[in-house]
Amino acid sequence: MKKNLSRKPARAPQKAKFEMSPAIQARMEKAMVSIGNIAGKQARKDDKIQREARLAIAETFDAWIDWLEEEAPDQIEEMFFELGCFATATNRRRMFKHAKAPDGVAERAQEQVDQWKAEEEAAREAAKAEAAGGANGHADV
């Protein structure tokens, strides 16, 4: 039993290209400006919410440290250490000037940051060596 296949042209005929009228083009431009304004307004609103959230945390920080000093004094050094490990160098220096920052925690945090940098550099060098060794190893095959 044979199946009759309908023949389709190998190529579809080209359709006329759509051209926007000046009125439609003006309306599209106006709509894009409107969308841009709405997105900008929403972005500013979101930024304000995040600024306010960071300010609330900053304003609560000293009260939390005071509570921590009474309830778990051993946690203060650990908290400063952890924050210091993830802060930028400038913020780390500023952070450890805080009145409640324990002595020696700045050096401990800097040692940890230096260790992480050394490990990252060693991993980078190992990856380079492996890539160079892998390129040379394929020549033997």
Q: Is the pLDDT of residue 141 over 50?
A: no
Q: In this predicted model, which residue has the larger pLDDT, 133 or 34?
A: 34
* Per-residue model confidence as pLDDT tens digits over 13-35: 677 787 889 999 999 999 999 99
Distance of CA 139 to the CA centre of its chain: 40
Q: How confident is the model at residue 137 (pLDDT cuts 50, 70, 90)?
A: low
Domain boundaries along the sequence of the chain = 30-71, 73-135
Count of CB atoms within 10 A of residue 113's CB? Answer: 16
pTM (two decimals): 0.60
* pLDDT tens digits for range 38-64: 999 999 999 999 999 999 999 999 999
User: What pLDDT, in 10s, does the model give residues 66-94?
Assistant: 999 999 988 999 999 999 999 999 999 99
Q: 19 or 9: which carries more pLDDT confidence?
A: 19
How far does CA 9 lie from the centroid of its chain?
Answer: 52
Question: Could you give phi then psi for residue 98, rounded to 5 degrees?
Answer: -60, 140
Query: How far apart (Å, rounded) are the C-alpha atoms in residues 72 and 30?
Result: 60
